[in-house]
Each structure stands twice: as C-alpha cells, then as structure tokens.
Amino acid sequence: MAPSKIHSNIIFSQQIEAELSKIIDGFPAGKVFLLTEDVPDKLCLPLIGQLIETHHIRKIVIRGGETNKSIRSVEQVWEVLSKHGADRKSLLINIGGGMLTDLGGFAASTFKRGMAFVNIPTTLLAQVDASLGGKTGINFNGLKNEIGVFNEPDAVIINTNFLKTIDHENFLSGFAEMLKHGLIKSPEHWEELMTYNLGQIDYEALQAIIAHSVAVKEWHVLNDLTEKNIRKALNFGHTAGHAFESYALYEGRPILHGYAVVYGMIVELYLSAKKCGFNETELETISGWLLQKYGKFDIARQDYEALYELMTHDKKNEGSRINFTLISEIGKVEINQDCPKELIFEALDYYRQL
C-alpha cells in the first residue's frame, strides 16, 4: 500500500522501515537515538530491527505504565542522551504507546532546549490521539500531564500492523478517543464507528477509519495549536475523565485512559443534556452502548468530593471555574461551559446509577 498523508508530518504507511530510513538519513551518523518501553521492545521493535542495526541507533528502554510517566524516567532518557553526545542536531525516535510518546516528546523538547523527535505509535490510543498534536508531558504530584510543553514531532508514522500486538482492552481504550472525535465533529465518523465490528477487527478497513479520526484531531490542532479556543473541543470527556483516571490510580485500581474518557463522556453527555440541550433519548442510547462495551468504574457518593477536587486541577480551567467542553448535538461542540458543583454531582449520580 502506498503511503498517504493527512498533514505534512503524519504518514500512513505499511513500509515503515522505508519511511523511517528517509527521516534518519537527514541526521548525522551517531546522532540518532530510539526510546521505547519494555513491552514494545519485545513485540514491536522486531518490525524495524534491521534498521536499528544498519544505522547504529542507540536504544533506550524504560519501564512502561502510567506510574512511570515521571520526571525520573525523563532523567533516565536525558542521562543516556548526555552521555552519548546528543545535541540539537540529534533525533529521538519514540516507539510505544501514548505514555511513551508523551514522555519522549517532552524529553526531546527540553534536552539542549530542543532536539528533533519522531513518534511511531504502537497502540490505537497513541495513533489517533496521544502521538499527535504536539502535546508532550509527564505526570506530577498524582496529577496527569501536569508538566509539559507544546512541541510538534518532526513526523508521526502510523502503521496498523503494530495494533496486532495489543490486547482487546487497549484496543477499546484507543477506540474511545475515536468515538470522542465522532461526537465532537463528525456524525459520519460516529456512524462508521458504531457499525465497526469490534469482535472481529479488520485491520485493513481500520486504517481508513483511523485516517478519518486523525483528520478530526488535526483540524482542531491546525486551527488552534496552543489550545486557546476551538482545540478545547478535544477535551470532551476529559475533564471528568482525567478525574476518574487520577482517582482510580490513587485508589490502587487503575483504569486505562480510554475507559476513563468513556466514563467522563457519559458524565459530560449528561451535562450537555442539562446545559446545552443535547437530546435525552440519545443520551440514554449512547450511555447504554458505552456501558455495554466498557463496563463501569464503581464510585460511591462519598467519592464525589475527591472527583470534583481533581476536576478543579484541569489545565483548561480559568480561575475557580471548571471549564467543560460539551455538545448540543453530535458534531456540534460547545466550549467554555461552566457547570455548578450541584450539577456536576447530579451528573455523577446519573453515571453511578446506570
């Protein structure tokens, strides 16, 4: 299959070694580094193993998982880069899931005040969301993505063959971000996701669907790189979702990011119905479908205060307001929606009682 592009730095290709070779050839010998996690190192790197040897690329392997998205892991990357003479003319290739591409992009963006980096996402979540759009960062003090910078990768190479290495839960986690893209921008994309057979994944058909989802994200990024306006649409499901994700981690029962976003979308669809006139029949239909596919993170009323407190730390808040992105209908987004605490608790009630 011939490579295609949505934007100049996003490359869809089944010839991953050929695409990566073209990029590597633009950098001096000995100045190319590769960052990955322990799991992709075993499952995904064999797809480009020959390339690593041919170009004498120095490999850095860190431990995977959200708990390792930390300053200590970044220090580990910086230490290798410093020890082996990396500079501003160097390249860091990030191969892994969203945690890895976030962390690797941050490490590259801050080393020597910035070196080039390329993302090769190996999970669906990373391919449709985390590796795109120039957000880099790490978790800090129990808060997700608390430290980071905006910096676009030199390229993102998307290859659906990597998705054969992830389990169904991680596939669904990425699929959640695609559902969000459909809800905020494209009823057509929403419909194709609703009819996609999650029980028997067709990877060839999936590539075109991923391209549609990426196009939604790219539209928002290109129109608002630093998230001052319309890019906030991409936050749908995330204000409540990040609170679920952080609280689950604190409680010692962690959940995947996409699952947290789904639970957040249910809460924010309820807010959308009450605040923006979103159709209540559609609210019930969508919530039921999401619950069937993603299950539920159990909460009790006594957890509401902690979840609310976590929502107050969302980076898109302004002053004391919790700034939600909501929708008035599928494809029509309403940014900068301020919801009172009582209504947020009412939405948590709706979710809890599903």
Q: Which residue ranges make up each domain of the chain?
A: 4-165, 168-352
The label of the residue with tokens 């998705």 reads 163
Choice between 3 and 330, residue whose per-residue pLDDT is larger? 330
Give yes or no for residue 102 having a pLDDT over 90: yes
Q: What pTM, to 2 d.p., does this model score?
A: 0.86
Asked if residue 131 lies in contact with residue 173, where contact means CB atoms within 8 angstroms, the answer is no
190 CB-near residues (< 8 Å, 6+ apart): 179, 182, 183, 330, 331
- Position 1 scores a pLDDT of 34
Q: Given pLDDT bands bounded at 50, 70 and 90, which one contains residue 4?
A: very low
User: CA nearest 121: which of 110, 113, 133, 129?
Assistant: 129
Whether 4-165 shares its CATH topology with 168-352 is answered: no
Q: For the structural domain made of 168-352, what CATH number should be given? A: 1.20.1090.10
Q: Given pLDDT bands bounded at 50, 70 and 90, which one contains residue 7?
A: very low
59 CB-near residues (< 8 Å, 6+ apart): 33, 34, 35, 36, 41, 52
CA distance to 5, 13, 63, 163, per residue, from 96 (Å) = 21, 17, 11, 11
Give yes or no for residue 60 having a pLDDT over 50: yes
- Position 315 scores a pLDDT of 65
How, if at all, do strands 10-12 and 4-5 pair?
antiparallel
Give yes or no for residue 183 having a pLDDT over 90: yes
- Position 319 scores a pLDDT of 62
User: CA nearest 288: which of 246, 350, 195, 206?
Assistant: 350
Choice between 50 and 146, residue whose per-residue pLDDT is larger? 146
Least confident among 23-27, 98-102, 228-232, 322-326: 228-232
Report residue 13: phi and psi, to 5°: -155, 145
Secondary structure string (H, E, C) spanning 219-250: HHHHHCCCCCCHHHHHHCCHHHHHHHHHHHHH
Fold of 4-165: Rossmann fold (3.40.50)
